[in-house]
């Protein structure tokens, strides 16, 4: 058992005793460590995706910060201020476009899930990583897209994941639905 505070332990104790997920989680990592691991994974995936150019349209903040931290001669300063004004305008435009950017990122997840369905329909090895099936590869691609999104928008994925699993543990069989 971890050295977690008593109040955190009582939260686990109040959960449904048949919640298999919670019981398994209690036996492995502490909840806090698992939350941090998921959030860290999201941050790392996002860092790689950002580095690989998947968020170029949202990099105005970084570029503006680079300009403001450099020292310039008088002539260069004018150019830098002009560039900063342009980047500020770009940042404002990006803020206005954020819902569209988010929706476009959601569609990338949907695309990966569609490719996952194709991997189930046509089983076989992946063309890119032949030691794995196409189904495995596309599952990871969908997960990468979701983790990248969570990392970029700094979603509290780890904490939310466990809160959602605790809630789902209280729901009826198939949540009261036929399928």
Each residue's pLDDT tens digit, 114-143 = 999 999 999 999 999 999 999 999 999 999
pLDDT for residue 69: 54
pLDDT for residue 27: 56
**Domain-embedded: residue 101:** yes
**Domain-embedded: residue 148:** yes
**Domain-embedded: residue 179:** no
**Domain-embedded: residue 178:** no
- Strands (E) located in 17-131: none
Distance, in Å, from the CA atom of 80 to the CA atom of 127, rounded to the nearest integer, reads 46
Domain of residue 116 covers 6-172
Which residues make Cβ contacts (< 8 Å) with residue 124, sequence separation at least 6? 133, 134
| pLDDT tens sequence for the chain (179 residues) | 444 444 444 444 444 545 555 555 555 556 667 778 888 888 888 888 888 777 765 555 555 555 555 555 555 656 666 776 776 666 666 666 678 888 888 999 999 999 999 999 999 999 999 999 999 999 999 999 999 999 988 999 888 888 888 888 888 888 778 76
pTM beyond 0.85: the answer is no
Nearest C-alpha neighbor of 159 from the set 38, 65, 42: 38
**Domain-embedded: residue 45:** yes
pLDDT for residue 168: 83
Distance, in Å, from the CA atom of 163 to the CA atom of 78, rounded to the nearest integer, reads 51
The 8-class DSSP code of residue 172 comes to: P
pLDDT for residue 10: 43
**Domain-embedded: residue 41:** yes
Q: Say how many Å lie between the first and final Cα of the chain, rounded.
A: 37
**Domain-embedded: residue 83:** yes
Count how many domains the chain has.
1
């Amino acid at each position: 058992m971890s050295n977690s505070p008593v109040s955190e332990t009582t939260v686990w104790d109040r959960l449904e005793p048949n919640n298999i997920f919670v019981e398994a989680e209690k036996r492995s990592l502490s909840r806090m460590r698992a939350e941090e691991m998921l959030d860290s994974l999201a941050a790392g995936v996002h860092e790689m995706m950002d580095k690989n150019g998947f968020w170029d349209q949202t990099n105005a903040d970084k570029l503006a910060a680079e300009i403001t931290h450099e020292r310039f001669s008088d002539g260069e300063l004018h150019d830098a201020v002009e560039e900063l004004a342009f980047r500020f305008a770009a940042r404002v435009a990006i803020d206005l476009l954020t819902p569209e950017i988010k929706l476009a990122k959601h569609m990338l997840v949907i695309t990966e899930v569609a490719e996952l369905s194709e991997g189930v329909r046509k089983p076989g090895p992946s063309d890119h990583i032949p030691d794995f099936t196409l189904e495995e590869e596309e599952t990871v691609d969908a997960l990468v897209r979701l983790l990248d999104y969570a990392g970029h928008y700094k979603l509290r994925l780890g904490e939310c994941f466990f809160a959602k699993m605790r809630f789902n543990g209280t729901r009826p069989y198939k949540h009261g639905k036929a399928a």
